[in-house]
Structure 1
């Protein structure tokens, strides 16, 4: 019977091996083809629509703007400044949000008091904090980081709390049976078990941090602030330079996509693989 079972399983294994490259290829080709089609339609529309080219530039006009921005160094400098602010601010948000979430998870009364406030802050548009931050700190990096932190911290807190809430109660009993103290339980049991929710919170926190940063840089311009991507977007608006505005928007989008593909997507795949879960949410057999 075991030999028959092995022979019966061999075609399935071979079929899975044959399907995997095709699936990987499709996952790359599908977005590329979609982007090519959309860019082609955009270019055709810019030729066909009877609107001035400066009011409806096609992809060609956007690409033609790129060498100019690269030559004067403003684009790369702005991207570097914004990325440094975003990454350093996001790391600071993680360091602030993680202990707060753990504290709320183990203090039910405190969570009942602060939980609704944190959720309300997550809903509040981050751009609403910019005027208050400018009044408090002026046109300085402190303004940028205040808006970024207020945008990212609530999402990270709620993500970790959600992950902890989904941990089975038996884990606590098992830790006690094995003689683990509270610190050991949190470090060796609670945090690893809450990782899916925590990573989801980190992903959302990064999205809020990046959007908050763009909003802050768009409004807080001048003073001691270095030129960021949002500031470059504002410059394009002041100059009525629509190709520059669209180019900066595409750069903002590209940075967000690259961070997702290079950081959060691999971590999510590893978490699912370690837990025996496939992409559709079912268990691997």
Structure 2
């Protein structure tokens, strides 16, 4: 009789099973809600706007306090005047687009080269032993160091600009993918092999999706290297034949001792870098995190 009672107690009733299933369903479900517009303004827009206002206020105070000469620290209104003058002349967008188009094209080429290179280094032991340290060393090498060599090899041409971008961005993209693949659980690869996902199919359907967070981090860093490399190349290898980009505009302003133009060039370079991150990489990163249940916004 006691044995029967113990067995009855060990068996969960229908209510317990229903509660267990409901709990598991709640754990599996990822609640993705659209963030209210007011909350976006409060948490995403207001902080950077406040920071910009604070910087402008401190800048204005330093100018009024005459901490240095005007030609070293011009009034913010002088920089604004330089911006409006470029806009009225119709050259502002041309200057920005010249550099942005080069940066995006160079980054696309670096993506096409860095992705298969990262897969090869991550999956072939001999290649990793041979190229892994070299990629890490290239990633730590300042991109500006490649500019003199690229100019000697290719002349002051667009090809030299793209060469500097590739040499700066490819190692970052490849290393980011290698890092992402190293964090893929071996169980995923074994499961992929059981369903026939081997070779190129396994890389496309198993490795790349599983390594996407690390790969995306490498892409962000690769874009940063691309943009920095391009600006270094435009600053040093400036020529009228290349068109007027942001780097050459900055160098021309320095040559003319035009400090408002110098500051405007710096702000435009910073603005483009931030804009690309906010428009391209941040939404992509949020989407990847949401699909993995790591973010709800």
How does the TM-score come out when normalised to structure 2? 0.85
Point out where structure 2 has 5 or more consecutive residues left out of the alignment. Answer: 1-14, 23-31
Counterpart check, 1:59 vs 2:56: no
Query: What is aligned with 1:226?
Result: 243
Looking at structure 1, the residues matched to 249 and 196 of structure 2 have their Cα atoms a distance apart, in angstroms, of 57
Looking at structure 2, the residues matched to 90 and 162 of structure 1 have their Cα atoms a distance apart, in angstroms, of 20
Q: Is the 8 A contact 1:148 1:209 kept in 2?
A: yes
Instruction: Give 1:110-189 correspondences, 5 Å limit.
Output: 110-189=127-206
Q: CA deviation at 1:237?
A: 0.5
Of 60-69 and 88-97, deviating more is: 60-69
Looking at structure 2, the residues matched to 26 and 88 of structure 1 have their Cα atoms a distance apart, in angstroms, of 33
User: Is the partner of 1:67 in helix, strand or coil?
Assistant: helix
Moved over 3 A (4+): 19-23
Instruction: Give 1:3-152 correspondences, 5 Å limit.
Output: 23-24=39-40, 25-152=42-169
How does the TM-score come out when normalised to structure 1? 0.88
Counterpart check, 1:265 vs 2:286: no
Q: Which of 186, 196, 206 is matched with 2:223 structurally? A: 206
Higher radius of gyration, 1 or 2: 2
RMSD: 2.3
Q: 1:94 to 1:233 in 2, by over 3 A?
A: same
Q: CA deviation at 1:213?
A: 0.2
Looking at structure 2, the residues matched to 50 and 176 of structure 1 have their Cα atoms a distance apart, in angstroms, of 68
Q: Tell me the matched-pair count.
A: 269
Query: What is aligned with 1:197?
Result: 214
Q: Is the 8 A contact 2:197 2:205 kept in 1?
A: no
Q: CA deviation at 1:82?
A: 0.4
Q: CA deviation at 1:73?
A: 3.2
User: Is the partner of 2:69 in helix, strand or coil?
Assistant: coil
Looking at structure 1, the residues matched to 150 and 200 of structure 2 have their Cα atoms a distance apart, in angstroms, of 37
Q: CA deviation at 1:21?
A: 5.9
User: Is the partner of 1:272 in helix, strand or coil?
Assistant: helix
Q: CA deviation at 1:76?
A: 2.0
